[in-house]
A and B are shown apart, each in its own frame.
Chain A
Amino acid sequence: MNSDDQLILEFQQGSRNAFCEIFERYRDPIYGFFRRRLANPARAEELTQECFLALLRNVTRYEPRATFRSYLYGIATNMVSAERRRASREIRSDDYKDEGPGPLSGDADATLWVRRALERLDNGDREILMLREYEQLSYAEIGILLRLPINTVRSRLFRARIALKEQLMPVKDPD
């Protein structure tokens, strides 16, 4: 089985199948990335398409400086940032009043608890925590993506987890 980095290099050489393989591997993770960060599912779907189209358009400029995964999530992160800036400029932005996700699958209560707890975190800490837990990026990949030193990533991730624990599992008062 080819690695992501091999696949993207094959795609650069013109292999259509390589791109299809990449797409199949990352379509759900990338959709999940946008879905957890945006309230509008339709917009998440559009941005997922845009993300892969951006990869398609810019593949000739791709250089294997870091892992392909961090490159792809870098595109997605930039698109989310642009989307948030655009939403903040819009006068009518009913869909974007709160960037929390909309109705989701699974246990709705459990999801709501986690979502509320995440919303209370610092923006930067939350992003690091979500990249680690949901996108499964390494500290180094997160550091490259957010342009932070690895030690900073580790310390902020620790801080985010402790804060989330206090939200989800408050310490019971012995009295």
Chain B
Amino acid sequence: MTVAIGSAPVRLRRQLRIFLLVLGPGLVTAFADNDAGGITTYSLAGAQFGYGLMWVLLVTAIALVITQEVGARLALATGQGLAGLIRERFGVRWTAFAVLTMLVANIGTTVAEFAGVAAALGLFGVSADLAAVMAAAIVVILLARGSFSRIQYAFVAIGAGVSIAYAVSASLANPDWGHAARAVVIPEITWTGAYFLTLVGVVGTTITPWGQALIQSYVADKGLGARDLGPVRADIALGSGLFTNLVAAFIIVACAATIWVAGGTIRDAADAARALGPLVGPSATTLFAIGLFAAALLGLGTVPLSSAYFACEAFGWEAGLHWRVREAPVFYGLLTLFVAGGAVFVVLPGLPLIQVMFLAQVLNGLLLPIILIFVMRLSREQRLGGLRSGRVLYPLGWAITGLASLMSIAFVVSQIFARGAN
């Protein structure tokens, strides 16, 4: 090589290579945040309130970047996932509580992902049974490929697919881009209960307990250390700061420009896809359905994985896709429980599908404040050294924890009341 070591182009190229090596945790977590539940929430937000919730996306983007960075720093400094750190700091009882709640909630989330797959493929005339079995098979094949870092490309590819599908459906809808852009910066608040409930839903589907667990076990599993902070931050900024909310924005825009303008009502993402057909054209339905399918699939790949990691790390059982089944029986047992259990819920008639998904939302709402408080308290530990959250990150983190906790509690209360009223 003729260029002297340390000269700008070489340094740049090296930095790029490091970034590509480190890339993954932030991006995948961000893509995974837009799972089936997320797509449904965004569709509802766009269909009901037009561009009225666009500003929330900007706020959640900032909030997500901060909580994810605090979490990633914990993993970078200790090489441990969230569950392990909770265990060491807060003892076995809190850990058991967090693990049990997380597992139950995430089984519910997994069921929701399967339902998402079934709904998406249903638009193509595939039966729910076949869809669930197919999805389970794809997930098993994905997971059989090995560690996080080996399947991350598949995850990223699926995530990119989702993004493109929704970007195209948004532009097909021929929206008022100027209005949309303005709404990001200038809040257009409707002072109704339904508006705020949807707002809480958007935040709740973006900042999740399992997302917090996922980024940390992912960083730890990848073996990243303190010196990778720079690339990891870039990864998080790109993923959580940009992609999560860009996808959300496209969905909102697509629904706002069509269903909202036409004054239609929808109940879920599949409804939204169906509604787009007559308004935009059959290709919009197809794209929307593909996006939902891919998003649900990504959720199916990550939610069981992150749950199994969480539980195993807490209790000191072998965890990771590089172990053989006999070496990590609990880990694989949990994965199987999630994937098979979730599929069964969708396939077998008469099971309380809706109730389970509802329970998942409530439990996640209850768990989120606790998880965030744990994360923030851990973020000041001496042993983190230079990775301790500092004068900016720490107060911001607590502010977000406070706000998100309030919203979570409000959400849980409203959900329980809404159900009680039915």
Please say whether chains A and B are actual partners in one complex: no
| Interface residues, chain A, with chain B CB atoms under 8 Å away | none
